[in-house]
Structure 1
Amino acid sequence: MQCILVALCSYLTHYQARPTGIAFVDSSKLQVYHNLRILRYQVFKGTKKRGKGTMWWFYGFKLYLIINDQGGIILVKVTTANVDDRKPVSEMVDEL
């Protein structure tokens, strides 16, 4: 299961677009499983963290994307769910 995240990031960075001067940043949650099954399932044991999205708490990861005005992906980053959104975004912007 963990190799899927690596494959996703490598696929998205393979089709990396060039910055055009206008960029959009967004984050999305990658929920591993439902909150009622927290104690039962052991997917990503030791890797997943609890974080808060726009709709309640969840266990999993966060996906950050920076795209240009044409919809091309410029940068991709995946973090654990408990990371503050400002830190990865500022790191990604520094790379531009």
Structure 2
Amino acid sequence: MDTETHLGQLSAILEFAGQKNVDVHILPFGAGTLTAAFSAFSAFSFDSESEIEAVAMDDVMNSSVIESRRDLDSYSSSYDMMLASSLTPEESMKLVRRKLESLGKGEK
């Protein structure tokens, strides 16, 4: 990935994180094998409460949305484990700003 693209992506994260309905939590590489135990998914909550109401997943062949409470409970548990290992929103934004600063100075 070129530096300009990376800078744009990091800037977009900062912009979205400034919205009232968005929390950004970075899961650091130091979380280790925890990240390997789960497939990528997006969790959605449509109310002010943080209860997961839908999960979306994409793979090479298709996309799927899960809304069954029983299935969502599994994803909710996975999400909770990842969240517990993640940086806080404040720590996450500090990390993004540090990376932006280092990339802006030409460091990699």
Tell me if both proteins adopt one fold, taking TM over 0.5 as the criterion.
no
TM-score, normalised relative to structure 2 = 0.28
TM-score, normalised relative to structure 1 = 0.31
Structure with greater helix share of residues: 2
Structure with greater strand share of residues: 1
